[in-house]
Chain A
């Protein structure tokens, strides 16, 4: 079946503007993750959704970042009042299920490269 898809592939925005990044997980996957990949920080976990449970937002770097997942499928990561340090590749991943020691592999999308001017 189709893999994880993300849009847009690239996004250039001006400092202070809001942006929305979209992730469409693999059909049937109940767990969804957002990661950020930047030159200085490497790959960082941002947020995790599992089914209809409350998301784990422990990785979000500031209150300018938020995410939602509608209908247990598509997710949107929103960054308000973007700053230059938000420039990075934002990766989304999904897996079939997840527990504390969930064994299911996370499958990644191609990412969105965000550039804040």
Chain B
């Protein structure tokens, strides 16, 4: 149980184009999902908290107009990297909590999306 599906698993795009990444909770409802970014040999950096039916909460230093987050249903959150540039190349991972979403319950992660901007 508690499976999170992320799509696509990898994408290559040209500089200036936009890329959408989907995150779905397959067997549970998630009022809150989290988007992380991971650089090579580094830890996960929380980018934003996606809230169903309301605006996402972005971490300091993350451009909300650059990284558009939509959480239109209890099972789907999307991250759109707008006007992508090579420095946006990274590994993006989404996660969600099952149940009531309390912070003492574990996160369930998607398999990540490797974005390469050429």
**Same complex:** no
